[in-house]
Structure 1
């Protein structure tokens, strides 16, 4: 559904009126397109305390549109600013972060990016842990201050090379609706894809709930990045599922993911010698009611589809070896699972369960090179949110730092980053795709 307010604020009368009335003035976000696949402008690389070895080399590979520099060019508005704060180990050293960003933050271009690079918290050094944790509050607050479509993230690293995939995502139009997030990249080694333009070439993916909406957008994005995709949805959506799969050059798989033999049928559909490199758990339902009015069926159906089927299917595909070594698993959580929501005790429980699943499985899958992560969407413009009453819909759109709803492709781009072979150091992470919603952390 079109966001008429966003369109109005982009007109001259709209800018004048909203400014006079002190109403939100969201900027139209610059998302990835074939014509504009990269941010364009200066990439300002600043350092607070000791620099992280190799970071400058990684930043030099961010794309042809970005020009790395360590000094502000005259009359330049940098498209992105990266502040290396990995060496900040005391409260006093935080002054160097302020000193680096304070003179340049106003000059960041509309829809630009600010990424602060931090280090993991040291369990044996409370001074370092305090200073590095302070960066989280700093970045979350900065994301709420920037405005004009600009975003801020905190990226925790121990080495620069494993972060290339993540930096390519954060410093690109693909991350337009991701802001105020804290992401940790583990390890010191990375496997770059053969082509950053088609990082999923030669890989096989399964996307559940992909007949329409977010699932269809995820399937389309994975196909764009080179994967062969199996689109799965319930049999009663077979006609729409087939249309989506045909349009994408994918394979339709009409199947109820809650069926006891769902994993076996997925393996069978892949064919002899087939296997999965990417498993995307997107299928989900809502059956909203306040707990006092919630019937048992409403509770159990949501838990079964949104959580239990994810656990069962993942376990079975791992046990059978259908999920190959080095596979990527991405599950869909929600900001409702982080912050809760009135009338959604069942839905919030199921999505919080996804977060627990991801965090518990991640360390156990590391030996196989398998990663598992979750996306947590906020207000996304879909048929479901279009049916929400007007005033509630408008509140959902505006209650975030970017002042607008996200699009299905925003969730898809985040999922594709998780799915990349270059994202092997990213596991156990929950990234909100919500424009930095006021709900939750």
Structure 2
């Protein structure tokens, strides 16, 4: 992973003065999760007059946070939660929006703004849908206005979902915490009452078994490490050629290693057999393995196209069929159910020059996740995707300097993300507290300027 020397320079006293005088980007050091730390470090302001705002305030108080309805001028706050759940027409937005605006300048470094509202798509009345979509637009716009590593995201609730549902608390805690450091301008949907809250928020995956493909290095290794930190036992999977690095990852997380080509017809069955033999259960599968074979479409050949499709999407489809057909991956009724998390990409959302094969495969992942959600719901489980933007990896370190620098600054946080940022979002979506969210693709891109 290459060093971002510009961000390091900006965060020195001389660098801050110089770059500010020149009007250059001001990337901040982001607050990332550390086990045992508080969700946020200062006051949390709840804006809005709905009954949901009272329930949210009570929830936060139960976490021992300093919850306010009003703050003194110039007082720094760590987060603002703006509740728009009761809006019925665009005119209803005004009071809460202006209340949010009055406190926005007081949000401190790596602070959080979260809007809470109901699903626009379920509203039949045009005025209600317009108001809810308005919240979506203002949320994304506020995210562009945040400074010093602060973020803004939306938490969308199903029409009749009780604010007290466990997954609402889970989503709120994720967005408030350092786990969402590189998530901004995104909308996290909670559709059902499914999900359970952990006894220990630092060990939400305690006792569970997780498979991570492509675990030998980079993002996959980081996912394995974060899932292990959160309590899971790890099965690290990668191709035989990466056997030495795979063994190193498995050793770091006290897990087991499985050398496997995921494009093999029996890949799913072999994963199940390994899990049954070594762990006796399987709760989480993370489809991280992927390849790129970039070429302009006019120069594309069958080998480049077919290999990317085979690894990045066809293998996942085949393995999912095997997993969902086996009782090992199906929990008894009343439990949190199985979890599948797939790695998509912002290239699959907005496209990328020279990546027609990669973009097609990652857009396919997004479609697969949405379509498979109903099958997981019947098993009390979930399937979601994480779409990284520019993440600092060995691959991006090989990019030309100028190209890499431009890519780093093309998001609202003005920097590249780290593999751990992707891993944190995967770990949240794999947790029991995310049981009300399924079929979602969550971007981890710092609000990249491409795509939605």
TM-score w.r.t. length of structure 2: 0.94
Query: Who is 2:382 aligned against?
Result: 371
Task: Could you tell me which runs of 5 or more consecutive residues in structure 2 were left unpaired when the two chains were aligned.
Answer: 332-336
CA contact (8 A) 1:118 1:155 kept: yes
Query: In the alignment, which residue of structure 2 is the partner of 1:123?
Result: 123
- Match of 1:112? 111
Q: How many residues align?
A: 439
**Paired residue secondary structure (2:18):** helix
CA distance in 1, matches of 2:435, 2:233: 20
Partner of residue 350, structure 1: 361
- How has the CA–CA distance of structure 1 residues 8 and 53 changed in structure 2, closer, same or farther, with 3 Å as cutoff? closer
SS in 2 for 1:215: helix
Q: Secondary structure at the match of 1:79?
A: strand
- State yes or no: 1:276 paired with 2:282: yes
Q: Tell me how far 1:74 sits from its aligned partner.
A: 5.7
Deviation readout 1:276-327 (Å, 9 max, x if unpaired): 1101000001000001111110000100100000110011111122322301
Post-superposition Cα deviations, 1:21-53, rounded to whole Å, max 9, x if no partner, equal 111111111111247453200011111555356
Secondary structure of the 2:298 match is helix
User: What does residue 314 of structure 2 align with?
Assistant: 308
Determine if contact 1:52/1:87 at 8 Å carries over to the other structure.
no
Is this contact kept in 1: 2:74–2:106, CA < 8 A? no
Does the aligned pair in 1 maintain the 2:93–2:131 contact within 8 Å? yes
Q: Tell me how large the CA RMSD over aligned residues is.
A: 1.5
- Please list the CA deviations of residues 74-125 of structure 1 after superposition, one character each: whole Å capped at 9, or x if unmatched: 6521101111110111111010222211110000011100000011123322
Q: 1-side partners of 2:148 and 2:440: how far apart?
A: 27
Q: Which moved more, 1:164-173 or 1:44-53?
A: 44-53
CA contact (8 A) 1:371 1:426 kept: yes
| Match 1:159 to one of 145, 156, 162 | 162
Q: Which residue of 1 aligns with 2:233?
A: 228
CA distance in 2, matches of 1:12, 1:195: 39
Paired residues for 1:285-364 under 5 Å:
285-325=291-331, 326-364=337-375
Distance 1:128 1:48 in 2: 18
Which aligned pairs between 1:72-221 and structure 2 lie closer than 5 A? 72-73=71-72, 75-121=74-120, 122-157=122-157, 158-160=161-163, 161=165, 162-188=167-193, 190-221=195-226
Report whether the alignment pairs 1:396 with 2:385.
no
Given that residues 200 and 222 in structure 1 are in contact (C-alpha distance below 8 angstroms), is that contact kept between their aligned partners in structure 2?
yes
Residues 50/191 of structure 1: CA separation in 2 closer, same or farther (3 Å cut): closer
Q: Is the 8 A contact 2:35 2:202 kept in 1?
A: no
**TM-score calculated relative to the size of structure 1:** 0.96
Contact 1:262 1:313 in 2 (8 A): yes
Contact 2:111 2:150 in 1 (8 A): yes
Mapped to 2, the partners of 1:9 and 1:378 lie a distance apart of: 22
Instruction: Check whether the contact 2:297–2:356 (CA below 8 A) recurs between aligned residues.
Output: yes
1:415 aligns with 2:406: no
Q: Hey, what's the Cα distance between the residues in 2 that align with 1:57 and 1:35? A: 22
- For residues 409 and 269 of structure 1, the distance between their equivalents in structure 2, rounded to whole angstroms, comes to 26
Distance 1:368 1:57 in 2: 32
Q: Confirm or deny that 1:71 pairs with 2:82.
A: no
User: Which residue of structure 1 lines up, in the alignment, with residue 334 of structure 2?
Assistant: none
Counterparts of 1:61 and 1:144, CA distance in 2: 31
Distance, in Å, in 2 between the alignment partners of 1:123 and 1:82 is 23
- Counterparts of 2:340 and 2:441, CA distance in 1: 12
Residues of 2 paired with 1:100 and 1:413: CA distance? 31
